[in-house]
Amino acid sequence: MRRRYINTSIRPSDYLDVLSKSEVTRLLDSSQGGLYELFRNCSLAVLNCGNEMDDGKKLLELYKSFTIEVIQTERGIKLNITNAPAAAFVDGKIIKGISEMVFSVLRDVIYIGEEINEGIPDSSEAVTDFVFHILRNANLLNRSINPKTAVCWGGHSISREEYDYTKEVGYELGLRGLDICTGCGPGAMKGPMKGAAIGHAKQRIKDGNYIGLTEPGIIAAEPPNPIVNNLVILPDIEKRLEAFVRIGHGFVVFPGGAGTMEEILYLLGVLLNPQNKEIPFPLIFSGPRSAEPYFEQIDEFIRTTLGESASERYMIIIDDPPRVAKLLKKGIAQVRNFRLKTDDAFYYNWRLTIQKEFQTPFTPTHENMAALQIRQQLNPHHLAVNLLRVFSGIVAGNVKDYGIRAVEKYGHYQINGDRQILTLMDELLSFFIRQHRMKLPGTDYVPCYQVAKE
């Protein structure tokens, strides 16, 4: 019978082998911003890599006895791990890729803790700089590489047909030398990386980049998939989303659920800013033939709520992976030419304007959710902010530990607003539920929200 838990010690293989005494003390002292709990929970999620679970609360409860301790030695540092998920080990030794991701967690938690303790200035420019510093600290920004990062968004709970389609698109992207950046989890986040790895291998590309961007609230529900070779943890969902749009050169959106809608609304809300009108930003929605009704419903929701100008920022391609890859690469070439013309960096989209509303962390308490203004008379930019916050709250209530506990204690989130918009939203969410896009297949979904149309 396979062991369920493993006890071991690991050392970093090639980076982060030296920490100061104050850094170790701060990490282990829960009074200093709670860094240890953050480090422990994110590390547990990484060690759970490959296991099918999308409930952060259940994961933490299943491994209550798990501990991870940072030990300083004369030769650097090591981590003592107790009662870790056995799936992260082979013959008693931790899988190398998972070990690297654990040390990525340590790197980001320490850096984020230092930055937050020093205080982040309350301005849009300061937030953008903060995201830049986190990505640079992770060695993710390379000024010598041409634009080639394809961001792929989509759900963790998708059908086998949709998963295979994401692999086909990833394969075509990999054949064309593009790197992949996703939310790092399973489903539509894993498929493009798996396909691109095969495409890269055929083209003898040995330095393929498979970037995973996550945040503490979501990592337990969507642990990194094993293909990720550059994992970065951002402090919250808003900074995670900003990181995507700053480093991505082209975007492909596959079918998904509430989290995917949150991402779509964020991106369209940013692109609807008049200051971003002239910035090339390749954006393709795509899926197999069976996903055509899905994108028809998404398209209708966007056109009705945000208007025709929003629908002009994307194209929908059904069941044609080569065309997706060709058009995305063509769009990325336009991005390169534009940045040369405007003297903008290839590795970070500085020119894109992101207003403060899209950067301000939203806490989905029951009071905050009920207070959101979902009104047709709002301009598209502000309506997009509030709509994405609705979906953000639903994601929290579905899979995040604190959100699940809040719903268990206080009941459903109440969503209020104009009848037309909320009717469309209710239809969209009901569609997601019928297609099992809110939870992994085989698990029952109980809605965490109620739509109260006026």
Q: What is the pLDDT of residues 381-433, one digit of tens each?
A: 889 999 999 888 888 887 677 788 888 888 888 888 888 888 888 888 888 88
Locate 195 and state its tokens. 């396909």
CATH topology of domain 5-119: MCP/YpsA-like (3.30.1850)
Residue appearing with tokens 């709670």: 34
What percent of the chain stands above pLDDT 70? 89
Q: b vs e for 285-315, b when ≥16 Cβ sit within 10 Å of the residue's Cβ?
A: bbbbeebeebbeebeebbeebbeeebeebbe
Per residue in 218-255, pLDDT (tens digit) is: 887 778 888 999 999 998 899 999 999 999 999 999 99
For position 3, what pLDDT does the model report?
Answer: 52
Report pTM.
0.89
Banded pLDDT at 161 (limits 50, 70, 90): very high
Q: In one letter, which amino acid is 100?
A: E
Q: Residue 238's pLDDT is what?
A: 93
* More confident position, 117 or 3: 117
Classify residue 225 by its DSSP letter. Answer: P
- Pairwise pLDDT comparison (50 vs 180), residue with the higher score: 180
- CATH class, 133-342 region: alpha beta
Lowest average pLDDT, out of 93-102, 190-199, 400-409, goes to 400-409
Q: Is residue 401 a contact partner of residue 118, using CB atoms and an 8 Å limit?
A: no
Give 126 or 110, the one with higher predicted confidence: 126
* Bridge partners, 80 (sequence order): 9, 69
Q: Closest Cα to residue 81, out of 92, 95, 93, 67?
A: 67
In tens, the pLDDT along 166-194 reads 999 999 999 999 999 999 888 999 999 99
pLDDT surpasses 90 at 450: no
pLDDT at 180: 98
pLDDT of res. 210: 97
What is d(CA 164, CA 158) in angstroms, rounded to the nearest whole number? 10
How far, in Å, CA of 330 to CA of 322, rounded? Answer: 12
228: which 2 tokens? 């990720």
Mean pLDDT across 17-31: 64
pLDDT at 437: 83
pLDDT of residue 1 exceeding 60: no
Q: Where are the beta strands (DSSP E) in 168-249?
A: 179-182, 210-214, 230-233
- Work out the mean pLDDT of the chain and round it to a whole number: 87
- Greatest C-alpha distance within the chain: 66
pLDDT at 33 over 60: no
Percent of the chain with pLDDT over 90: 47
pLDDT score of 38: 83
The residue extents of the domains of the chain are: 5-119, 133-342, 361-453
- Per-residue pLDDT at 155 exceeds 60: yes
Residue-wise pLDDT for 328-376, tens only, equals 999 999 999 999 999 999 999 999 999 999 998 888 889 998 888 888 8
Span 11-23, average pLDDT: 67
